[in-house]
A and B are shown apart, each in its own frame.
Chain A
Amino acid sequence: MSMQSQLLLVVLAPLFGALLAGLLGKKLGKKNTHRLTILGVAIAFAISLKVFFSYLYGGAQPLNITVYNWASFADLTIQVGFLLDSLTAMMMVVVTFVSLMVHIYSIGYMQDDNGYQRFFSYISLFTFSMLMLVMSNNFLQLFFGWEAVGVVSYLLIGFWFQKETAIFANMKAFLVNRVGDFGFILGIGAIFMLFGTLDYAPVFSKLNSAEVLIGNINTDEISPLAVVGLDKTISVWGEGSETVQWSLISFICICLFIGAMGKSAQVPLHVWLPDSMEGPTPISALIHAATMVTAGVFMVARMSPLFEFSETALAMVTIIGAITALFMGLVGIVQNDIKRIVAYSTLSQLGYMVVALGVSAYSAAVFHLFTHAFFKALLFLAAGSVIVALHHEQDIRKMGGLYKKLPITYWCSLIGTLALIGTPFFAGFYSKDAIIAAVGEAQGFASGFAQFAVLAGVVVTALYSIRMLLIVFHGPSRVDAHTAAHLHESPKVITWPLILLAIPSLAIGWLMAEPMLVGDYFKDAIVVHDGHDTLQALREHFGNAFSFALHGFVTPVFWLMLLGVVAAIGIFWWKPALADTLSKLLTPVRKLVENKYYFDEFNQKVFAKGAVSLGNVFWRYGDKAVIDEGVIDGGSQTVVKIAQKARKLQTGYLYHYALIMVLGLLALLAWLLFVA
């Protein structure tokens, strides 16, 4: 089979699964539905893995494949196609593997749900959309995938459509994402203006020809962008010589990043992600932890040739990422809903990835995306296992001491937690340490703040993670007696995916750090300019995966993590009274954090209510009062009156009006033709 057919199979197999499940689900029955969709995703995974290995070990070259021309006119061709390179291959494996695990897991998790077939249809459709996004070779298809994952996410958050909170959350998620997409589409507009195309290849090759000039020309006199004609500006304000001009490249990067902020839930567009937990847990793992929310990180890494030319945009990325990493982690500490804790943790980890992008450590960001996908999907699915065992109880205050009854879930959660907090040798250690090292090397604007945020974030991550682990699995049981009597480990379809995700959470960092983090795996996809290479130092001191992890035990980062762990054990387990004292002492801070910095209240009052009120004002005063009553009815009242009298005189049928009108028109026509 040619490469093109194989890639087509990767995207079409899940799509067919989705269509069959969606259209014929009732006829197929539950079993056949999950068999078919799992088969589709398994095919996609098998091919993805093969492709990934060809890049990892075979040194395969990037491939640019056109599938069909979507639209072509006036020398412009907009296509649907695939760009296959190391970055794509990695994303394909992440998406299809996690999706496969989630498909299997859902057999158990959703078994009693009436919407079983619908659910499988949606998650397969999501897999298709996400693959279209990561495999795209142009901005149109990128945007298609981008919006399509948003729609499936909308459908899945609102999966239980009778639940008022769920159908509020899904609309909120879609609209907040649309705010990001608003920026995204402007960015694409700017790309079209600057490059005259929507394909990646010509954009990258033009940027590449500017990049090679760096070091070869005196950049103080003329910028490399100017040499290749990419130094266009747009005027933002003012007229004539007074205009404020922005570099178009920076404009593009900032707009694209606004899109990424929506999808990857960065402050202030993060508000939709915690609410998205209203959806079934398997999709929280697939969509809201492992794949869709990392689309923004992926996109910025994909666009690294662009972002490298904009210090302004990179500084913005750094600041937004740092804020998200630290402050969203803090919220995680005070949550009591097991899924929301993991959700805030996801926000914080996404912040880490984004900070890494901001300091040009794209490969570290993408590597964290890679490891995070496994351990965060694991944590979500483990949380789901607990939720199922407790008959859909999500409040951690009603859990406790579960490690005996749910041993597999417990051990898997433990592995996930250790990976998350960055314990040496675990997956998360390699990626997170690399990010912290890169931020430490960064010289740009706000790098000091970023450094503080990622270091403080280490303590915070350990705090909320260990707190959750202790309260859920250790200590006295607070489970009600009825549930406790029936408490048992989840069935195999649920525990096996946990185990299969625990293995990479344990080992993938160790296995992949050398090629991906310090090696040249991403060399064909990611561009870093010479002065920006913040991973240089790490590369020099890395040694091998084993020595790096050993060294990890004596770094300040490790001590910070330990501080968080010890503090969590002290506060939440050893002396619970301490927690109360602390929370009383820190009341104002606690309130601020508990209310999630009042983002939701603000948005609801200002944007949601404001928009509807504005609409009402426009409608009542603009359309009705001014246009209709003022201008039209004022002028037409007389006509209407006459017409109504005529109606009484006549039979009331409008045929007559029509007839009179035609006669009138004919008369008028005659007059104009013959007299005028």
Chain B
Amino acid sequence: MLEQLPILSLLIWLPILGGFLVLFGPGDKLLVWSQRISIVISVLTLLLTGWLLWVYQNGSAEYQLVEQADWIPSFNIQYALGVDGIAVPLIALTGLINLLVVVGAIGSVKFRRAQYFSAALMMTGLMNGVFAATDAILFYVFWEAMLIPMFLMIGVWGGPNRIYATIKFFLYTFFGSIFMLVALIYMGRELGSFAISDMQQMSLSLSEQKWIFVAFLAAFAVKIPMVPVHTWLPDAHVEAPTGGSVILAAIMLKMGGYGFLRFSLPITPDGADAFSWWLILFSLIAIAYIGFVALAQQDMKKLIAYSSIAHMGFVTLGIFVILMLAGAAKAQSMALQGAMVQMISHGLISGALFFSIGVLYDRVHSREISDYGGVVNSMPVFASLLMLFVMANAGLPGTSGFIGEFFVILSSFQADWRIALVAGTTLVLGAAYSLWMYKRVIFGKAASDKISRLEDINGREKFILMTLALLILALGLYPQPLIEMMQPSIENIIQLATSSKLGGQG
């Protein structure tokens, strides 16, 4: 009986319907009930992800838990779902972050809280849809629809400059995605199918591949984001409420990386190869240049936002460096494992950092580093947890933040040692901006009376931060279960990405 449960559909529709239920049911008037329903739905969703992890069989790159139904038969567009080793961990991360965001909102969202819950829940369902869709159009619909609750979150519960941020966010992502849609439709018409796996097998000429690759790049580079299309992210983060920032950093950015792995590399291997040097170059710029930019930030959220961009540089570097590693199977697997682990790990770490800034913001109502100092005196428990997060952000071995950077640096050394040289600067820069912020905010004498009277984190905040702390450590000390789950899919992607579609020529 349970085996036939459409887990993926449930993971998508349970939170979405739950979101509607909260919105049109109890709403803000019966806030307690909205709260209860939201938490129950979030817990159920998380249990479903647990169930998903339980039933998912390692050792194969085939889609599992497949669901299929006709959606728009005249164009052969399917409601097709399925997951492989790279989708499952991202769905699990989504379920976890959703629960934490809902729990976090209870204390820190002051108005229209039911609607906030509703937005978070709907977003979760839609993001699960992005990771589970195996039909390109279905994927695209989730991809765009997911933005709506995010706009709302920033636009309604955001800071003073929220309109500018939302518009910027909108323009960037919209222009990016529209090219992807064109590419998808082009391929769908050629193929007569929108199944992503068919597209991966489709034969395409080099110029077709280049065009399609660039179209995908426009969508995914904005989302992840890569330099130079990254400037929407700091603005969006600064204006977004805590939960919005957490979801944005923890999950949404990962969709860019997921897109590269699911679409760009397998569908247009030769197109990607043609641009590989540029992509690596811009990944390195993201790591080094953005590292310096982060150093100059005065606003905590901006600093973490820039740090996210630099960390995502490792994801794109790991993804595209495999194109320069022909024949080195170990290094290729290591690079992609690094990219994937970096995505999951960054979800946990950046989530934890944005929650932590939220903790401070709720108390002091400022994100300016200079308004703080000596927080450790009044909030020792919080200070210890933040220490762990900051160190994880600086890539400390034993935390999850280390693995991705380590794998990507090691594997890119074999492509060209100078790539590793530039990427390695993160060891110094990442530590510099992370620890300098920590020093100015946490250490020292209490900067003001207000700081010296702050209350340490309460049970709810402790629950959120401790959960993330434990996962960051667990993943750092024993990544093997995650790596084992992803490896067959990663080998499959490497196989697709390194076999030319140009026939005779290569």
Could you tell me which A residues sit within 8 Å of B by CB distance? 68-76, 140, 143-144, 147-148, 151, 154-155, 158, 161-162, 164, 167-168, 171, 174-175, 178-179, 181-182, 185-186, 188-190, 192-193, 196, 234, 251, 611-612, 614-616, 618-619, 622-623, 627-628, 632, 636, 639-640, 643-644, 647, 653-655, 657-658, 661-662, 665, 668-669, 672-673, 676
CA distance A274 to B273 in the complex (A): 50
Q: Is the CB of B231 within 8 A of A628?
A: yes
Tell me the minimal C-beta distance from B505 to chain A in angstroms: 25
| Residues in B whose Cβ lies below 8 Å from that of A164 | 444
User: A639 contacts which of B163, B167, B337 (Cβ < 8 Å)?
Assistant: B167
Q: Is the CB of B145 within 8 A of A662?
A: yes
| Residues in A whose Cβ lies below 8 Å from that of B435 | 154, 171, 174-175
| Residues in B whose Cβ lies below 8 Å from that of A185 | 406, 409-410, 424, 427
| Residues in A whose Cβ lies below 8 Å from that of B178 | 668
Q: Is the CB of A632 within 8 A of B329?
A: no
5 closest pairs, A vs B, by CB? A189-B413, A654-B155, A615-B296, A74-B333, A615-B295
Q: Is the CB of A73 within 8 A of B397?
A: no
Would you list 12 pairs from A and B whose C-beta atoms are within 8 A, ordered by A residue? A68-B478, A71-B480, A73-B483, A148-B396, A151-B396, A167-B439, A178-B427, A181-B427, A611-B432, A615-B293, A622-B289, A640-B167
B113-155 toward A: CB 8 Å interface, digit per residue (1/0)? 0000000000000000000000000000000110110011001
User: B170 contacts which of A188, A657, A669 (Cβ < 8 Å)?
Assistant: A657
CA distance A182 to B420 in the complex (A): 10
- Given known contacts A151-B391, A676-B185, A174 and B431 CB-to-CB distance under 8 angstroms: yes
Q: Is the CB of A74 within 8 A of B152?
A: no
Output the nearest chain A residue to B494 by Cβ-Cβ distance. Answer: A74
Q: Is the CB of B231 within 8 A of A623?
A: yes
- Given known contacts A167-B443, A636-B171, A72 and B295 CB-to-CB distance under 8 angstroms: no
- Given known contacts A167-B439, A654-B155, A618 and B334 CB-to-CB distance under 8 angstroms: no
Interface of B is mostly: helix
| Residues in B whose Cβ lies below 8 Å from that of A181 | 427
Q: Is the CB of A188 within 8 A of B167?
A: no
User: A615 contacts which of B164, B292, B439, B480 (Cβ < 8 Å)?
Assistant: B292
CA distance A167 to B443 in the complex (A): 7
| Residues in A whose Cβ lies below 8 Å from that of B409 | 185-186, 189
B342 within 8 A of A: no
Output the nearest chain B residue to A636 by Cβ-Cβ distance. Answer: B171
Q: Is the CB of A71 within 8 A of B293?
A: no
User: A182 contacts which of B148, B182, B185, B428 (Cβ < 8 Å)?
Assistant: B428
B425 within 8 A of A: yes
| Residues in B whose Cβ lies below 8 Å from that of A234 | 417
Tell me the minimal C-beta distance from B212 to chain A in angstroms: 15
CA distance A155 to B170 in the complex (A): 43
| Residues in B whose Cβ lies below 8 Å from that of A643 | 163, 167
CA distance A643 to B168 in the complex (A): 11
| Residues in A whose Cβ lies below 8 Å from that of B417 | 186, 189-190, 234, 251
Q: Is the CB of B155 within 8 A of A188?
A: no
| Residues in B whose Cβ lies below 8 Å from that of A162 | 374, 377, 443-445
B71 within 8 A of A: no
Q: Is the CB of B231 within 8 A of A175?
A: no
| Residues in B whose Cβ lies below 8 Å from that of A196 | 330
User: B420 contacts which of A186, A628, A657 (Cβ < 8 Å)?
Assistant: A186
Q: Is the CB of A74 within 8 A of B296?
A: no
Q: Is the CB of B374 within 8 A of A175?
A: no
Tell me the minimal C-beta distance from A675 to chain B in angstroms: 11
User: A74 contacts which of B170, B329, B396 (Cβ < 8 Å)?
Assistant: B329
CA distance A614 to B291 in the complex (A): 10
15 other contacts beyond A175-B431, A189-B409, A668-B178, with CB at 8 A cut-off?
A71-B480, A71-B483, A73-B487, A74-B334, A167-B443, A185-B410, A189-B413, A612-B295, A618-B289, A632-B168, A639-B167, A658-B151, A661-B147, A661-B174, A672-B185
User: B439 contacts which of A155, A171, A182, A673 (Cβ < 8 Å)?
Assistant: A171
Q: Is the CB of A618 within 8 A of B424?
A: no
| Residues in A whose Cβ lies below 8 Å from that of B479 | 70-71
CA distance A201 to B16 in the complex (A): 54
CA distance A155 to B297 in the complex (A): 24
| Residues in B whose Cβ lies below 8 Å from that of A71 | 337, 403, 479-480, 483
B264-307 toward A: CB 8 Å interface, digit per residue (1/0)? 00000000000000000000000001001111110000000000
Q: Is the CB of B413 within 8 A of A672?
A: no
Output the nearest chain B residue to A248 by Cβ-Cβ distance. Answer: B417
- Given known contacts A68-B478, A673-B75, A632 and B231 CB-to-CB distance under 8 angstroms: yes
CA distance A76 to B172 in the complex (A): 41
| Residues in B whose Cβ lies below 8 Å from that of A676 | 185
Tell me the minimal C-beta distance from B191 to chain A in angstroms: 14
- Given known contacts A175-B431, A615-B294, A623-B293, A654 and B410 CB-to-CB distance under 8 angstroms: no
Q: Is the CB of A147 within 8 A of B436?
A: no
Tell me the minimal C-beta distance from B399 to chain A in angstroms: 10
B228 within 8 A of A: yes
B156 within 8 A of A: yes
Q: Is the CB of A147 within 8 A of B397?
A: yes
B166 within 8 A of A: yes
Q: Is the CB of B427 within 8 A of A182?
A: yes
Q: Is the CB of B436 within 8 A of A73?
A: no
Q: Is the CB of A639 within 8 A of B171?
A: yes
Q: Is the CB of B413 within 8 A of A657?
A: no
CA distance A76 to B411 in the complex (A): 12
| Residues in B whose Cβ lies below 8 Å from that of A178 | 427-428, 431-432
Tell me the minimal C-beta distance from A164 to chain B in angstroms: 7
B62 within 8 A of A: no
B199 within 8 A of A: no
| Residues in B whose Cβ lies below 8 Å from that of A669 | 181
Q: Is the CB of B424 within 8 A of A182?
A: yes
- Given known contacts A190-B413, A636-B168, A72 and B483 CB-to-CB distance under 8 angstroms: yes
Q: Is the CB of B443 within 8 A of A662?
A: no
Tell me the minimal C-beta distance from A19 to chain B in angstroms: 12
CA distance A661 to B410 in the complex (A): 44
CA distance A668 to B180 in the complex (A): 13
| Residues in A whose Cβ lies below 8 Å from that of B443 | 158, 161-162, 167
User: A186 contacts which of B228, B293, B377, B413 (Cβ < 8 Å)?
Assistant: B413
Tell me the minimal C-beta distance from B239 to chain A in angstroms: 12
CA distance A658 to B442 in the complex (A): 40
CA distance A148 to B428 in the complex (A): 16
Q: Is the CB of A186 within 8 A of B424?
A: yes
| Residues in A whose Cβ lies below 8 Å from that of B487 | 73-74
CA distance A669 to B140 in the complex (A): 11
CA distance A171 to B444 in the complex (A): 13
CA distance A465 to B334 in the complex (A): 52
| Residues in A whose Cβ lies below 8 Å from that of B374 | 162
From residue 468 to 484 of chain B, which have CB atoms closer than 8 A to chain A? Answer: 477-480, 483-484
Tell me the minimal C-beta distance from B439 to chain A in angstroms: 5
CA distance A68 to B478 in the complex (A): 9
CA distance A290 to B181 in the complex (A): 63
CA distance A616 to B147 in the complex (A): 32
CA distance A627 to B171 in the complex (A): 14
| Residues in B whose Cβ lies below 8 Å from that of A628 | 231
Tell me the minimal C-beta distance from A588 to chain B in angstroms: 34
B25 within 8 A of A: no
Q: Is the CB of B164 within 8 A of A144?
A: no
Tell me the minimal C-beta distance from A190 to chain B in angstroms: 6
| Residues in B whose Cβ lies below 8 Å from that of A668 | 178, 181
Q: Is the CB of B148 within 8 A of A658?
A: yes
| Residues in B whose Cβ lies below 8 Å from that of A147 | 396-398
Tell me the minimal C-beta distance from A137 to chain B in angstroms: 16
Tell me the minimal C-beta distance from A479 to chain B in angstroms: 30
CA distance A94 to B41 in the complex (A): 56
B378 within 8 A of A: no
B421 within 8 A of A: yes
Q: Is the CB of A627 within 8 A of B228?
A: yes
- Given known contacts A164-B444, A182-B424, A639-B171, A658 and B231 CB-to-CB distance under 8 angstroms: no
Q: Is the CB of B420 within 8 A of A189?
A: yes
